[in-house]
């Protein structure tokens, strides 16, 4: 279980949105000055770049460089790899500003490579750029021609069943989710006051980073962390600050969900499932929640036509991997209405995630 979480501090939403729109305008101007064929070749080059990122990430180079620069000879010896190919990987990454190369084939971290450290995004990068993902994306046409998840070509059973069968994949997956939760949770907590509620049930809450961050900030709130048995362990020793306020329950949200919460949260859950599966989960929540309770879906809401959005890219990841989808506001409204909920509000956060608060009809 998480020790008391330390969260980053972000600037206000309007400032980040403004900075983002300036950055995107500059990128558009840069594209105007580039021949379209060159733009396309630069997109293609991203495949090779991602291969290089994946290798350096898996070798843990950003963590090795925490204590200062290293020569390629030292890096190769510490990672059990060959100097020449490793140098070519590092040289390419340095040309993109991901590491910094100085004289004598010495490399150091930059702000960007620091994001590959374990305490930042290492496990998420390993999960999203692992060899299985390269195989899946090589066959993406399968989804386009059949409407099914591409991953079924390599993983016959459900994705979570597959994850649960291997302790290594399971550990990597859960740590990957915690990596991104650390970035998202500060944005969520600065957008919403959770002390309006007395008992929050986080459904599919993973290792509990989100829920424990809420309980750490609001000392009167109680929480129930609910996830599959492969994720939440037995007899976990809980940190003192939780002081009996956290209960852990195991099970499947397709069967029953812990009862009695006045807020049910679903963070990054529904995008992994079809509309029919989402409706089953939402109806199961409705059955057990208090009459005056609320539901909060925390997901990307896909933007209108042509607007850039993380959700439009991660939608392809969901289509290929678990066979789910990212949704527009109208699509959320539709699955909520079919499950007996109405939307009260949709609140944007400084991250790509929005908070969709809904009440039972």
Ligand X SMILES: C[S@@+](CC[C@H](N)C(=O)[O-])C[C@H]1O[C@@H](n2cnc3c(N)ncnc32)[C@H](O)[C@@H]1O
Give the residue at shortest CB distance from ligand X: 204
Q: Rounded to the nearest whole angstrom, what is the least distance from the CB of residue 236 to ligand X in the complex? A: 15
Site for ligand X in 185-214 (CB under 6 A): 204-206
Min dist. Cβ of residue 99 to ligand X (A): 28
Q: For residue 199, indicate whether it is catalytic.
A: no
Least CB distance from residue 18 to ligand X, whole Å? 27
3-class DSSP state for residue 189?
A: helix
Q: Out of 150, 181, 212, 354, name the contact with ligand X by CB under 6 A.
A: 181
* Residue-wise burial string across 152-188, b where 16 or more C-beta atoms lie within 10 A, e elsewhere: beebeeebbebbbeeeeebebbbbbbbbbbbbbbbbb
Say whether residue 253 binds ligand X (CB under 6 A).
Answer: yes
The Cα-based distances of 103 to 31, 81, 94, 100, 107 in angstroms read 33, 21, 13, 10, 9
Least separation in angstroms between CB 227 and ligand X: 5
Spatial separation of the C-alpha atoms in residues 271 and 263, rounded to whole Å: 20
* DSSP three-state, residue 312: helix
Q: Does 267 bind ligand X (CB under 6 A)?
A: yes
Strand order in the sheet with 99-102: 70-71, 106-109, 99-102
- Per-residue tokens: 187: 């944005």
Under the binding rule (CB under 6 A), the answer on residue 160 touching ligand X is: yes
Q: Is 315 in the site for ligand X (CB under 6 A)?
A: no
231 near ligand X, rule: CB under 6 A: yes
356 binds ligand X (CB under 6 A): no
254: contact with ligand X by CB under 6 A = yes
- Report how far residue 121's alpha carbon sits from residue 109's, in angstroms, rounded to the nearest whole number: 15
Is 123 one of the binding residues for ligand X (CB under 6 A)? Answer: no
Closest CB to ligand X among 97 and 229?
229
The Cα–Cα gap between 336 and 296 comes to 11
Q: Which of 221, 242, 269, 301 binds ligand X (CB under 6 A)?
A: 269
Determine the interface stretch with ligand X among 18-26, 51-59, 134-142, 223-231 (rule: CB under 6 A). 223-231
User: Exposure string (b/e) for 326-350, b if CB count within 10 Å is 16 or more?
Assistant: bbeeebbbebbeebbbebeeebebb
Residue among 134 and 254 whose Cβ is closer to ligand X: 254
Select from 1-9, 28-36, 139-147, 226-234 the region that touches ligand X (CB under 6 A): 226-234
Residues identified as active-site:
271
């Amino acid at each position: 279980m998480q020790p008391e979480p330390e969260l980053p501090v972000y600037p206000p939403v309007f400032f980040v949105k403004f900075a983002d729109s300036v950055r995107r305008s500059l990128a558009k101007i840069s594209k105007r000055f580039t021949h379209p064929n060159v733009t396309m070749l630069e997109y293609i080059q991203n495949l090779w770049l991602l291969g290089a990122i994946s290798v350096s990430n898996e070798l843990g180079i950003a963590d090795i460089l925490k204590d200062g620069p290293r020569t390629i000879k030292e890096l190769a010896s510490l990672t059990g790899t060959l100097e020449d190919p490793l140098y070519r990987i590092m040289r390419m990454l340095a040309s993109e500003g991901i590491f910094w190369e100085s004289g004598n084939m010495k490399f150091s971290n930059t702000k960007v490579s620091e994001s590959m450290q374990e305490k930042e995004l290492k496990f998420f990068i390993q999960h999203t750029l692992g060899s299985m993902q390269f195989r899946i994306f090589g066959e993406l046409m399968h989804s386009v021609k059949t409407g099914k998840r591409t991953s079924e070509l390599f993983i016959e059973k459900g994705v979570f069943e597959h994850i649960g069968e291997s302790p290594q994949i399971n550990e990597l997956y859960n740590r990957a989710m915690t990596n991104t939760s650390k970035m998202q949770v500060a944005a969520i907590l600065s957008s919403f006051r959770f002390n309006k509620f007395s008992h929050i049930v986080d459904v599919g809450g993973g290792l509990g980073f989100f829920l424990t961050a809420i309980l750490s900030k609001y000392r009167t709130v109680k929480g129930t962390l609910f996830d599959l048995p492969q994720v939440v362990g037995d007899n976990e020793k809980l940190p003192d600050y939780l002081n009996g306020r956290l209960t852990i329950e195991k099970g499947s949200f397709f069967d029953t969900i812990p009862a009695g919460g006045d807020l049910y949260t679903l963070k990054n859950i529904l995008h992994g499932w079809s509309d029919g599966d989402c409706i089953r989960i939402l109806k199961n929540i409705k059955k057990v929640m208090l009459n005056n309770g609320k539901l909060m879906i925390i997901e990307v809401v896909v933007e209108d036509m042509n607007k850039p959005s993380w959700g439009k890219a991660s939608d392809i990841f969901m289509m290929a991997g678990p066979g789910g989808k990212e949704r527009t506001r109208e699509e959320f409204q539709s699955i909520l209405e079919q499950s007996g909920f109405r939307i009260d509000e949709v609140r944007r956060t400084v991250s790509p995630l929005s908070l969709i608060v809904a009440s039972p009809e």
